[in-house]
Amino acid sequence: MDKVLNKNLEEYKELLKNFINTQDERSLYKVERMSKSFIRNSVLPEEIVNLHIQAMDELYPDIANSFHHSMNFLLEAMISYGLAHQEFQLLREQQIALKSEISIAARMQETLLGTEKPNIDGLDIGVVSVPAHQMNGDYYHFLKGNDGMLGLAIADVIGKGIPAALCMSMIKYSIDSYPEESMRTNVILESLNRVVERNVESNMFITMIYAQYFPDESILRYSFAGHEPAYYFNAMKNTFEEVNTKGLVLGVLPNATYSQKELELEKDDMVIFLTDGVTECRDDGRFIKIQEVLNLIEQYKHLPAQDIVDRVFKYFEKLQDFTLRDDFTMIILKKEV
């Protein structure tokens, strides 16, 4: 660092002399370049003040004492800034390291929790799930049973980030271990509730929906655990109805029970599942009303399910100035024939 400074002293002195004589912009531009090189080389503010003192002493040996003292005073005033700068530098390095760790974790989450939209007879599926930060606290998972039925899990961890993501992996692997087709949706939630209650700290809660669609009967069976209601769009009547069952969020009571309901779908009927990131997204402090979401869906109802969810997401993304405050997940099941 001393070498850098000595080399710079001559250059700085020259520039300073030029500037004092002519007050030209060129010298100012050059000192701007120099200042950037100081930062690159971790030269601290007090050292720059010292450089200035030395340059002035050499250029004007008989400069006023009062000026000389004032410069020493300024140097002293810079010491704490120098310390703050060093700490800032260190914290920045740590932050870069953390960020890269988190992005590795996020990629792992994608691989661990990845799920593909299955092809189900007569059912058009649309999905959008976008995390507000790197790690998604919303989770959805599709399963296809042997007889062509669809299993759909949607969960939202209250409490976000890495702990939420870890919790999701646990849920996924539990679901994977169930003999899915033979289980009722409420029994699946009851079993997951026990897993969560036993394994997750009591300050973390999970809301969840488990649904199964049976294409042969065109019937959707579902159970809710404290989750946002879903909406059923009746194409013939052109109306929306809330779809819900009573039930506690997962992880509160060891023996919570859940109930199951069912719904028969006709052609062009839709079921819309959401997480609270949709209804809690805000437009300048105003909560978005679910009606606004449903109006949009109604407007786009003739489109394929994927186009509907994409357009709804784009609309809300724009409303929030392209910075999501919460993870946003919306899944639409649309009966085709």
Partner 1 sequence: MTPQSFVTVYKEWDIVGARQIAREMAKELGFNVVDQARIATAVSELARNIYLYAKEGQIHYEVVETMNKKGLCVRAVDTGPGIKDISLVMQDGYSTSGGLGAGLPGVKRLMDEFDIQTKVGEGTTITTTKWVRL
Q: Please report, as ranges, the residues that interact with partner 1 according to CB under 8 A.
A: 2, 46-47, 50, 53, 72, 75-76, 79-80, 82-88, 90-91
Instruction: Considering the complex, state which of residue 49 and residue 152 has its C-beta at the smaller distance from partner 1.
Output: 49
CB 331 within 8 A of CB 309: yes
Measure the CA–CA gap between 200 and 205, rounded to whole angstroms.
8
Measure the CA–CA gap between 290 and 36, rounded to whole angstroms.
52
Give least dist CB 151 to partner 1, A: 48
Instruction: Considering the complex, state which of residue 6 and residue 103 has its C-beta at the smaller distance from partner 1.
Output: 6
The sign of the dihedral angle between the CA atoms of 260, 245, 170, 138 is positive
Measure the CA–CA gap between 271 and 124, rounded to whole angstroms.
11
Instruction: Give the gyration radius of the chain's Cα atoms.
Output: 31
Instruction: Considering the complex, state which of residue 85 and residue 117 has its C-beta at the smaller distance from partner 1.
Output: 85
The sign of the dihedral angle between the CA atoms of 125, 223, 156, 324 is positive
Instruction: Considering the complex, state which of residue 76 and residue 176 has its C-beta at the smaller distance from partner 1.
Output: 76
Give least dist CB 86 to partner 1, A: 6
Give least dist CB 50 to partner 1, A: 5
Give least dist CB 324 to partner 1, A: 29
Instruction: Considering the complex, state which of residue 86 and residue 239 has its C-beta at the smaller distance from partner 1.
Output: 86
Give least dist CB 49 to partner 1, A: 8
CA dist 22 → 18, 59, 129, 209, 247 (Å): 6, 15, 61, 75, 80
